[in-house]
Structures are given as C-alpha cells and as structure tokens.
A and B are shown apart, each in its own frame.
Chain A
C-alpha cells in the first residue's frame, strides 16, 4: 500500500538511519539509489520516482539529506510523498533543523519516532505536538508514561490534548495573501492568482469550539445577505481540525483548534491581479563589452499603503564583472554566486516610482555555454491590506467553562511566485 522501508541518506548515499517496515524489499537495495540518481541526473531525466528491477524508490531531498521510501508494490505515491514531507516536519519540530548532525545527535528519538509514525507501511500518528507528549527527548520514565495514556492519539480530536490552561485566553489570526504573477517579456500578464492562508496562534484553555466567519460570497448567497464586499474563493483547503462536511453543506468553518501555531486554512483566488509592484526593464547586452540594465519599479497600490523590504532581483550573465550601480532610492548589490543584482528598498509607498541603473563589463572572450533566461523576481510585504478584500467578520469562541477570549486579526499581502520574464 505504501512504503516498505524508509531510509535517511546523506549526500553521498550513505544510510544514516533506516527502518524496515514490511520486510518485503531487501534493505540492501538502497545501495542502488545513489548510482541511479546520479545516472538520471546526468541524463537530465531526474525524477522523484525511480526503479531498479522490481524495487521502486520514492524520494525527496531536504537540506543535506535524502529521504527515501522503497516499495515493490503499487503503492499510493501521493501518500508516500506526503508522508516523507510529514517526516521532515516532525523531525524539524523535534530537532529545530533536520540535517545530518541532528539525526546522529538524536538517533534514539529518531528510531522511536519512526516506530510511532508508521506501522507496516501505514502512517499513524504524525502530529508532532501530540507525539511530544509521549515521545520526549529526555527518555520517558515509566512512571510518567503510566499517568499519560495517550488518549489524544486515538481520539476523534487527535490534534489537541485535554487539560490545556492559559491565564489569558487569546487567539491571533493572521490572514496572509501571496501574489503569484507571471509576466511575459512584452509586459502582458500571462497568469496571476492569489494564494491566501489563515494562520492561527491559539492560546485558549480547555476544548474550545471555534467558528470563523469570512465575507465568503457563497456563504452570503446561501444566507441571502448581499451587503458589502464579498470574496469568491476558488478552492479552499482546511487543516484536519475543520469539519469538512459541515463546510460542504453550509459553508460554516467550525473547529476545535490545535494548541499553539497552526495553519487553519488556505484558499486560492483566480482573479486578474494588477501586479502590485510593476517592473519595466531594459537590458541591453553588448557582446564582448558590457551589459546595461535599467529597471523601473512602480508601486501599483493605494497611496496610504507601504510595501516593506522590497527586493528586485535582476539576472545578469554569469561572466559579468565590474558592476556599477545608480539608484533613485534603496541600494543595489551584486550577488555573483546567484548571477543577479539585488535592489533593496526598505520602504516603498504606493503610487511611487523608482529607478535603478546597472552597468557590467563583459569579457572579450565569450562564454560558450548557453545560459537560461531567468526572470526578474520581486519580493515584498504590504501590511494591513489584502488584495482580495477578504475579511474576518467574526471568530466565535465557546468553551464550556464560559471564559471570554479575544481574537486578534492581522492582514498581510506578500509576494509569492512573482516572475517577470526579460528579453535577454
């Protein structure tokens, strides 16, 4: 059904730690992984699924590690990748960083976790907050374990433990929208969408019932109200705590939240978004002598708003040298290892326009290798504002002890995959 065994390898393909779950694939098969990977890489056919004889490898890479699952069955591939990423998430929450050293430093806990996370190829409890209740780094004393029967593990509410206490009950709601745009070299917007997510930081006692109200157009249509601005969410994804069938029937977002930080939901809105920071660029390449770059950035958002930490990254040829810059605001820096100029503007008010000029020398002997045409990318963050106009209308919090709790809401718009193709 899914994985027969899970391996964590270092960059050379040496097994750091592994767990055999089903015993139907020879553990030595993993020795074929690295040669296979190098072969496919060389052929330019790299692929997340590889097979050697009857054994199939599904793998992901994380920092300096490969996480590899083997199988000889028709496994559910999407489950395996989801699980591998879940492994990364759990280990990261346990060890802060998941890398070669943290595996060695914690091999006892890693073994324990691998034993708990998956059984006979079936993923089990993978919620790290719950796992931390009974798999601790100090080594559980039996006395402690006796008092802590892991009820949460098998509860219908498997993501929140009972008996949580806070003096002050609060919940912080972050609405974060990322703007993805792809602009062609001739300036036309090829595709654009908004991927939003709502993150919670829950500091609430007991087992609270929460209900989140958004200005969701479908909900408004259902309830027959049509006042104010509404938002059409193309696709919504929820944390497992949200009752999906409830949402499906009457669009109510009701849930018992996990404690602490979590991502409650994400949504996608497929509208034409005016690129909030518009870039016009002229890049002229004079072979054997120089490259001249002129970039104009314009803030196409409300005057009252300000974009923070704006970074415009402009690609330059890999053999460029002796950079010279001139900027109307902010500062430009050449990052040779990434073959780009990064123009940083700390604060960029709406409606304003700024300019950057760059000049590079080119060697007289031309680089023979063909270079790609990386796009200009932009990073930014605009607080107190969402492009879609989505709003949290209310957050109802009901707990049987009847405490009063305060919800705090914050809105941020930021750049997602923000690419503008260039001519060179």
Chain B
C-alpha cells in the first residue's frame, strides 16, 4: 500500500474527523491520522487548526511519527507562535534522549522553528548538543548555531555560541569541522565585519587536513572558505595550492570548481617565473575540460566560469579549442556559451578549424545561435588578421543562402571588417547591395547605409540606393536616420553635382520635420558646415576613422578579478558582482585578488607605504546600518576624544565627519584611524564631493552631494574656499583643509594644517600617488616650526606636472599622503581641471579649424548648461579667467557661437564650441578633444565658471 491513499480523503468535515483520529488511543490510528494531516499540508490545504492535536502526538517513541509531527511544527509554528511553546518541553526532553538520532532531530528541528519566543529555550539544549559525545549530534548542532544566528544574532553572541563554533573547527571529526566551517562562513557573510573567520596558518592547516577526510559537500564548504584567505607570502600560497590540487580529481564537479577557485586566486600570489606556477597552469586545463562532460546545467556553470578563466589566464586553455566545438544535441545555452569561448580562444594557429565550424553552425536552424555564429565569423576576421580574407569569403557564401537573418547579421559584421581593414574588401560591395531590400532590422539597415555612404564613389547608383531609403525616413529608427543623414552628406561631398537635391531633402527632413534632438543637431551641423565651408566639411565628414579594437565584450579587469574570487557561484554565472543582485548586500566586502609583491604584474595604486590600501576601493557603498557599530571604533583614535570638536564647519559638517570616520574603519577593517585611500569619503564637504561618489547616506544628503558636484568648483579668481580634506579624527588630531589655485602660471595647493591634538606635531612631509596629470610637489612642504596644540599654519605647496602618471577615477582625483611625527595619513581630493589650463592655450584660428576637423566625431561630447544668464561676451570674459580662450565668435540666426580653446599642462588641447542664444538660459557646449575622457571635467569647469 502506498502513501497516495492519504491524499484521497477530500470529504467535508475532514478536519473534524482528523481531530478525532489524532486523539485516538490507538497508536496506529494516530500515526495514520498524522500522515493524512501531512498529506493535506503537502497539497496546500490549511490544517493549522489541528495544531494542538498534532502537538499532542509529539511525545511518542515512534521515530517516524515524531518526524512527521516535527515536520508539521516547522510548517505551522510561525502562524501559531503561542501554541508552539507547547512543543518546547518535548524538544528539550528529546535533546537528551539516549538515541543520538533523536537528539539531532530535535536540535535540527528546533532551529527551523523561526519563532522568537522559542529561541531562548533552545540555548541550553543547543549548548549541550554542541558538546555531545556523538559527532552526528555535534555536526547538526553546528548548523543550528547558524540558524539561531539568523533569527537572533545578539542572543548567539551573548551566549558565546560563536566561540564554541570556532572551537569545533578543531573537532576530531571531519564532518563536524565541515559543518562548523559552513556555519561560520554563512554567519560571516551576513556580518562582514564580525571577523569570525580569522583565518591563520594554524586554522588553515586544520581545514586542509579535514579536506582530505570529509564528504564531498564538506570539501566544498572548506574550499569556499579557503578562497577567502589571503596567504602571507608566495610560499604559503604554494603550499596551500599543493594541498588543494588533488581535489581537481574529485568526481563531483562542484568540488572541482571550488578547487579551481582557490587555485586561480592563490596563483596570483605566485611569481610567474616559479616552476610550480607553470606546473599549476598545466594541471588546471584537464579538469576544466572534463567538466564539459558533466550534466548540461553543470556544463553551463563551468562554461560561464571558463569564460572568465580564459580572459584572466588565456594560456591555460589555449590548446583546447576542439572541446568547445558545439554538438548537435547540446542545449542552446551550452551552445551559445561554447561559441563565446571559441571566439576568445581563436588564434592564427586554430583559425582554419574554427572557421569551418562556425560556417557549419551558421546553417543550423536556431536563430539566436546562427546569428551569434555569423557574428563570430566577423569577430574572427577582426581578431586574426591572416584569416580576414577567408572570413569575408565565408560571409559572402552565407549571404548567398539568402536566409534573411543570416544576411542581415553578415552585413553588420562586414561593416566592422571594412572599418578594420580599409580598402581591402570593397569588391564585395556589389554583392551586399543586391540584398538591400531584404534588410528589415535597424542595425543591418544602418550598417548597409553606412557602407553605401562610405564607398559612395565606387557604387554607381549610390544615390538611387540612398534615395530609396529616404522615402520612409520618418518610420526608420534613430540609428538608421542618423546613418542615412551622414551617408547622404558623404555622398554629396563625393559626388556634389548630381546629389544636391538629395542632400537638401535629407537635411530638411532631419532639421525641420524631425523632433529628435540628436538628429536635428547633426543635421544643423552638416548644414552649417556645408554652407560655410565645403572644404572643411569634407575634412570633417570624410575624416580618416580610428581603427576599431580587436577584442570585444571583455570584462573590465577589476570586475574580472572579483569574479574570479566567486568562481562557481551565481556571480560567476551572471558575470556580475554579488552586490548587483543580492538584496541588502550592505557592506559586503569586494573580494579582490592580492597580487604577488614585486611580480610587476599587478598595478599597485598605493603611494608605496599604503599597504592594503587597495582593499578599500572607493566604490564600496556601505549603508547606514553598519555604521552604528563602527562608530564605536572611533575611539581608536585617541586625540579625537580629547581634542576639541571641529570648530568651523558647524553641526552638519561634524555629523558627516563621523560618517567618514565610520566608513573608513569599515573599509579598512582594523586599520583604525590611519586607514586607507578610500578616503574619498574623508572630505565630505558638499563642495568637494563629486557627484559620482555615492554618498553613504540616504536620499536627502545624496542630493546635496549631487548638487555640490557641479556648483562648488571654483573658478574666476582661480581659487575656491578651502574645504576639509583630512578631518582631525581620522588623522590623530591633524586637520587639513585646502584648495587649489593657479597663480602666475603655477599650480598651488594651499592648505591649512590645524593641530587639534594635545601634543606637538613636527616633521611634516607630503607625497602624492601617481595621478592622471602627473601632479607632484615641486618642493618639500615648508613647515619649519613645530605645530603646537591648537595652532594652525597656512602653507602653499607649488606643484609641478612632471610626476609619474596613472589614470585616476575620476580623472581629477588626487591621492595624498601626509606624514608627521605621529603617523602617516592618507586622503584624496579633487582639483578643478582648469588648474591645469595653461596660459598659452589660445589656438591660432587656422589651427583650430584644422584640428576641429581632424578630431574624429566620436570624440565630441555635448553638454547643456542650464539657467545661465550671461551674454556671450560676459561668458567669454569669465572663461578667460580660467584660461579658456575665445578664438572666434559668430552669430547665426540670433545665436552666438563662441569657438574656444584651452590647453592642459600635458599638452592636450581641448576645443569647444559654446552656443548662446539670447533669451535662452540654456547654453550648449560641444567639446572636442583627442582624449575625450577629459570632457566631463572640462564641462564641470565651464559650468562652474559660468555660474559663479
């Protein structure tokens, strides 16, 4: 007889009947009744009304019945918390049962009853079970600590369970060790600062020993925990790797992936010239390949991870191309991932095979897969130059199939091939033109139009072709419209005689009949260019284009590093950091790989002495919740408690400084007061806070900072009021406020050093981290006399721009280290970029014109400056104060156009066109520069200067 009979009773009055049966004297009948209750529960019926009757059955010596009652309790206790107390006595009693199975069952179930009132009764039984003689009970109790912590963290801490749990790491039984590790990791994950898993060589050694003896799942817990450890040196790193590598031979794919995670991470510590490094690389390939014989879902996880591994260490799998060939019966998600990896591994050595495969795939039926395959052929052409010709001919073959989406996809990639290898494959244009009519996707249409415009001189009927698109101009997507506009202008510049009408038609369509601002702007610009100076127009529109890059879709290196630390997890599957998809990932520390010292491979953004500073990337966004606890850490900085509070800035400032301090200890862990470069937060005056920094506080303040981003940056007099860069409580009493100024062509960092500590400060020195424009102190910090308590000193530090260069984020960020007799302190600040505008930044008109044309259009960025009530002359004067020079002014249709130039200290020119329309408070500034990254900063300068 099977259990299915229990599902069949559906009569009315069933609950009543069950109640009677539950209270029956006969054991068998009771058990049958409980089974019926559970069956009803399983199909989703509400049987909570039977709570007291079921709980009455709890005191039984029948294990099966007991389990069923426990199961019932787990489901309904939450809805009947008061009645759940009734069960407590039996739980407590069961925790002392002579049978370990029952003891474990009781402690396991109690932890699952998430009723606050019960938890306190749980403490004593749990304490006993954690020290039980039977390992089965201990391992269950270890997990129960994590459950209890989830319900009432404070209780667990007060009761000292965490320490007991830590002790279990040294338990003699490997299963207990594994569960203790799992429980601790789980708790640590939700409380990143609890420092629960203070892994040290001794504990690591215990874990590695248990690794050899525990179950496959236990091995995963331990490996995942190991991955959080940072070895002290390369020798320790190597010895851990040596003990982890045998796990690569485990039959369970999850064990293998967790082992790969540990190895990939610790490998970073090993010097590359070490023999062992090479050995390890070789050992990683075979298990990764074998993962592809696992079940499809596991294959998928493996492939997503291999995609990361291939980007980080391409050498591991470079000879394994074949295993990524797609099988006919692979699920689509496996196929697409394999394809992605094939492209990453494509090289001159294997390109012939890869191409043959891709061509095969392109004739499959699954549309998404086929599209990706076609696109992959194009990517191969761009990546492996020697193969380009073969790729193009393959693509042409595919176009001949006339399969609509294949043709469209092929045309999109051929456009890129033209960009990469100009003047090589234009012979195929005729074939492409034949397929014009079948293109119905915007991307393909835009690509085709681009091709026609770009090669208009070789296509006899280019005008007819483009004209045919023009008919439905307004139905096209923006992408196509823009492309069409540009293509026709190109055509006109190449064949001016026959196409005048056409160009006028498109210009009027774009400027008069369209309400898309991008389209209109582009239309106007072309119109103006063509009407004022056709030669110039030619040079602008037909300018030589920069080459396109070979690799696409590469994951940004810091994210890649982080993801490598999450191999096997959802983060690695999504290719997103956990903070992007885990709710309340508050204060989750970004896992980072610590590179080997002196291997020269990893860039170290430190000023040399700031070890560990990279641990605190400024992007970490902790939330308020965690700050409370960390405020306590403030008294780690003794002077702050004795010194007077920051005097000038008022209450709000003070509050923010507290946040800053709290943040820092959060980011830097136990670094305490002298912590890290994350000190971007450390200078939280609204004026200096760039908008891009996420404020650690909610809404209102955020807005405040946002506003500050643009408004407060100084100009005109070339100097802003000083802001607090280094608050006293972060620097053991030393407060630094400062600003930047450009005086007589010299950049100065003007600072006020304020001693708020009780003791005298001497021996000041200053150093900068490498930064975007090579700013460096031109001389030592001129503080010759000791600085007594409550004294302050003004100092101006001239800066040179010949220091070492490293791109910062944001560009104008400057990380500073200041030393005195007490300690070294770090802060970062941002300089307005106009500090770098040199006095001879006025360009010759001719040069300006040529340069403007010369810089590719893609480098142009446009900004709006709102609510500005100056006329163009006043604006010009204001800007001149910041070394932004007006070269020419034109007035078109009541609109003043100012052409301006400025030059950065490193020789980069920025060209600008400022449009001012009388009566319109919104200005438009277009910036063109060979280094377009600076545009945003320059724009901020504009905005600040004009609004000041």
Instruction: Write the residues of chain A forming the contact surface with B, with a CB cutoff of 8 angstroms.
Output: 1, 15-17, 20-24, 44-49, 51, 54, 56, 58-60, 71-79, 81-85, 101, 104-108, 111-112, 115, 119-126, 134, 139-142, 145-146, 149-150, 153-154, 156, 158, 182, 184-185, 190-191, 193, 195, 234-240, 243-245, 247-248, 263, 265-266, 268, 270, 370-375, 417, 419, 421
Contact = CB atoms under 8 A, between A and B. Distances in A.
Nearest to B287: A235
B632 interface: no
What 9 A-B pairs have minimum CB-CB distances, sorted nearest first?
A: A235-B286, A105-B2, A244-B246, A74-B578, A248-B246, A154-B135, A123-B217, A78-B254, A48-B297
11 contacts: A1-B182, A71-B570, A78-B298, A81-B254, A111-B67, A120-B112, A121-B186, A142-B61, A145-B63, A190-B325, A248-B249
B252 interface: yes
Most buried by A among B289, B293, B302, B366: B293
B3 A154 contact: no
A172 to B, nearest CB: 20
A240 B250 contact: yes
A174 to B, nearest CB: 16
Contacts of A239: 251
Nearest to B286: A235
Contacts of A240: 215-216, 250-252
Given A78-B301, A421-B360, 5 more contacts: A59-B297, A76-B569, A79-B258, A81-B297, A105-B2
B101 interface: yes
Interface string B337-377: 00000000000000001001100100111111000000000
Q: Which secondary structure dominates chain A's binding surface?
A: mixed
Interface string B83-122: 0000000000000001111000000100110100000000
Given A76-B568, A77-B570, A126 B217 contact: yes
Contacts of B366: 44, 372
Given A235-B287, A244-B249, A47 B300 contact: yes
Most buried by B among A44, A235, A265: A235
A192 B816 CA distance: 59
A175 B149 CA distance: 49
A69 to B, nearest CB: 11
Nearest to B368: A44
Nearest to B566: A74
Given A78-B253, A154-B173, A149 B100 contact: yes
A263 B252 CA distance: 12
A35 B687 CA distance: 49
Nearest to B185: A1
B286 A45 contact: no
Q: Which secondary structure dominates chain B's binding surface?
A: helix
B63 A140 contact: yes
A81 B251 CA distance: 14
Interface residues on B, range: 35 or more
Contact of B254 (A16, A76, A158): A76
A208 B333 CA distance: 45
Contacts of A374: 328
B325 A182 contact: yes
Given A44-B367, A154-B176, A78 B257 contact: yes
B68 A49 contact: no
Contacts of B63: 140-142, 145
B800 interface: no
B238 interface: no
B649 to A, nearest CB: 39
B3 A107 contact: yes
B4 A104 contact: yes
A270 B321 CA distance: 12
B116 to A, nearest CB: 13
Contact of A149 (B62, B101, B114, B297): B101
B71 interface: yes
Given A74-B566, A76-B569, A111-B38, A190 B357 contact: yes
B476 interface: no
Nearest to B364: A372
A419 B3 contact: no
Contacts of A46: 331-333
A140 to B, nearest CB: 5
Given A120-B147, A248-B246, A49 B2 contact: no
Interface in B287-322: 287, 289-290, 293, 295-298, 300-302, 322
B327 interface: yes
A245 B135 contact: no
Given A17-B42, A60-B297, A421-B360, A247 B249 contact: yes
Contacts of A45: 368
A149 B213 CA distance: 20
B245 to A, nearest CB: 6
A77 B44 contact: no
A289 to B, nearest CB: 23
A154 B175 contact: yes
Given A74-B578, A120-B143, A244-B249, A79 B568 contact: yes
A1 B179 CA distance: 12
A263 B250 CA distance: 12
B42 A107 contact: yes
B139 interface: yes
A108 B38 contact: yes
A74 B588 CA distance: 11
A382 to B, nearest CB: 21
A287 B553 CA distance: 42
B569 A149 contact: no
A107 B298 CA distance: 28
Nearest to A148: B101
A193 B63 CA distance: 51
A234 B286 contact: yes
Nearest to B220: A79
Contacts of B364: 372-373
Contacts of A104: 2-4, 7
A81 B295 contact: yes
Contact of A191 (B39, B217, B323): B323
B217 A79 contact: yes
Contacts of A115: 67, 71, 108
Interface in B1-53: 2-4, 6-7, 31, 35, 38-39, 42, 44
A371 B249 contact: no
B343 to A, nearest CB: 17
B873 interface: no
B216 A1 contact: no
A140 B60 CA distance: 13
Interface string B547-583: 0000000000000000000101111111000100111
Nearest to B243: A245
Contacts of B212: 243-245
Contacts of A111: 38, 67-68, 71
Contacts of B286: 234-235, 268
B814 to A, nearest CB: 35
B189 interface: yes
Contact of B253 (A56, A82, A139): A82
A265 B185 CA distance: 31
A246 to B, nearest CB: 8
Contacts of A73: 189, 570, 582
B368 A419 contact: no
Contacts of A124: 139, 179, 217
B3 A44 contact: no
B136 interface: yes
Contacts of A74: 566, 569-571, 578, 581-582
B367 A140 contact: no
A112 B108 CA distance: 13
Contacts of A108: 3, 35, 38, 64, 68
A95 to B, nearest CB: 10
B4 A1 contact: no
A372 B365 contact: yes
Contacts of B353: 190
B301 A106 contact: no
